[in-house]
Amino acid sequence: MKQVSVLGATGSIGDSTLAVIRKHLDQFKIHSLSAHTNVKKIVKLTLEFLPEYVVITDEVAYVSVKSELENCQTKVVYGTACLDQLVSESVVDLVVAGIVGNAGMPSVLAAVAAGKTLLLANKEAIVSAGHLVMSLAAKSGAKIIPLDSEHNAIYQCLGQQYQVGVRPADVNSITLTASGGPFWQKPENEFLHITPEQAVAHPKWDMGAKISVDSATLMNKGLEIIEAHWLFNMPNNDINVLVHPQSIIHSMVNFIDGSVLAQMGNPDMQIPISYGLGVDKRLKNDANFLNLLEIGSLTFVAADCQKFKCLQLARDAISLGGIAPAILNAANEVTVDAFLNRRIGFNQIAEYNDRMLNQIDIEAVESMEQLLQLDQQVRTQTNTLIKQKTNHQS
Q: Which residues bind ligand NDP (CB under 6 A)?
A: 8-14, 35-38, 57, 98-100, 103, 121-124, 148, 205, 207-211, 269
Q: From 64-72, 144-152, 303-311, 317-325, give the range in contact with Mg ion by CB under 5 A.
A: 144-152
Q: Would you mind telling me the total number of residues written for the chain in this entry? A: 394
Determine contact, residues 147/272, Cβ cutoff 8 Å: yes
Dihedral (CA of 340, 341, 346, 348) sign: negative
Handedness of CA 203, 207, 212, 215 (dihedral sign): negative
Residue of 15, 124, 148, 337 interacting with Mg ion (CB under 5 A): 148
Residue spans of alpha helices (H) in 285-323? 292-295, 309-320
Nearest partner of 335 among 359, 353, 316, 315, judged by Cα? 353
State the nearest-atom distance from the C-beta of 239 to ligand NDP, in Å.
17
Name which of Mg ion, ligand NDP, none residue 57 binds, using a CB cut-off of 5 to 8 Å depending on partner kind. Answer: ligand NDP
Is 351 within any annotated ligand binding site? no
Which of Mg ion, ligand NDP, none has residue 269 at its interface (CB below 5 to 8 Å by kind)?
ligand NDP
Nearer to ligand NDP, 208 or 245 (CB): 208
Is 240 labeled as ligand-binding?
A: no
Adjacent-strand bridge partners of 44: none
CA atoms of 300 and 298, how far apart (whole Å): 7
Give the interface size with Mg ion as a residue count (CB under 5 A).
3
Among ligand NDP, Mg ion, none, residue 126 binds (CB under 5-8 Å by kind): none
| CA 6/CA 189 separation, integer angstroms | 42
The answer to whether the beta carbons of residues 348 and 335 sit under 8 Å apart is yes
Residue 245 Cβ, how far from Mg ion at the closest point, in Å? Answer: 15
Q: Is the Cβ of residue 3 or residue 107 nearer to ligand NDP in the bound state?
A: 107
Q: Is 12 annotated as a binding residue?
A: yes
Contacts of 240 by beta carbon, 8 Å cutoff, 6+ apart: 173, 174, 175, 176, 254
Q: Is 30 helix (H, G, I), strand (E, B) or coil?
A: strand
CB 59 within 8 A of CB 78: yes
- Choosing among Mg ion, ligand NDP, none, which partner's interface includes residue 263 (Cβ < 5 to 8 Å by kind)? none
Residue 149 or residue 246: which is nearer to Mg ion going by CB? 149
The reply, when asked if residue 38 is annotated as ligand binding, is: yes
Closest CB to ligand NDP: residue number: 11
Q: Which is nearer to Mg ion, 31 or 250 (CB)?
A: 250
Residues of each annotated binding site for NADPH: 10-13, 38, 122, 124, 208
